């Protein structure tokens, strides 16, 4: 709410979330979700942003299902970024990641959110955030 929000030179990156409950091919309710971002760090923010928003989508679908007393499928997620970028200060890190992608198949580098390694990383992130909600906004000790 521009009239109520504090004035800032750095407006929030996430601008809006749009959800719509629509029937899927079988007539079952499906929750679709779009997010629109002003600005986004591809290398260090995009992945966890998408994970978090799709988790919110899943939670919303579960709550709607309880209210309407029928299953609600998690539908499509559309992510729109006006400025998706990689900061020059970590181009060196990115080069190695791009090379790994070039040398692997999609199946080798894509994980379901139930993959044990992904679950481990998520648990570690939750633990860090519980101790310090701003931990990912601060430079790592070896970067400082």
Domain boundaries, the chain: 14-133
Answer with the residue of higher pLDDT: 105 or 29: 29
Q: Specify the pLDDT at position 78.
A: 96
Through-space distance between the first and last CA atoms of the chain, rounded to whole angstroms: 35
What does the H/E/C string look like for 9-43? Answer: CCCCCEEEEEEEEEECCCCCEEEEEEEEECCEEHH
- Three-state secondary structure call for residue 69: coil
Q: What is the pLDDT of residue 143?
A: 47
Q: What is the reported pTM? A: 0.71
Of the pLDDT bands very low, low, confident and very high (cuts 50, 70, 90), residue 2 is low
Beta pairing class for 14-23 and 29-37: antiparallel
Mean pLDDT, to the nearest integer, of 106-110?
81
């Amino acid at each position: 709410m521009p009239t109520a929000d504090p004035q800032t030179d750095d407006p929030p990156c996430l601008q809006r979330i749009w959800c719509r409950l629509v029937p899927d091919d079988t007539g079952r309710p499906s929750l679709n979700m779009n997010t629109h971002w002003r600005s986004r760090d591809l290398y260090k923010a995009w992945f966890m942003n998408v994970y978090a928003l799709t988790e919110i989508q899943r939670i919303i679908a579960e709550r709607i299902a309880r209210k309407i007393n029928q299953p609600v499928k998690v539908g499509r997620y559309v992510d729109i970024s006006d400025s998706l970028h990689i900061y020059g200060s970590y181009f060196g890190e990115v080069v190695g990641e791009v090379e790994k992608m070039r040398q692997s198949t999609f199946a080798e580098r894509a994980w379901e959110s139930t993959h044990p390694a992904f679950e481990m990383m998520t648990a570690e992130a939750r633990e860090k955030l519980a101790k310090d909600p701003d931990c990912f906004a601060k430079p790592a000790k070896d970067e400082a």
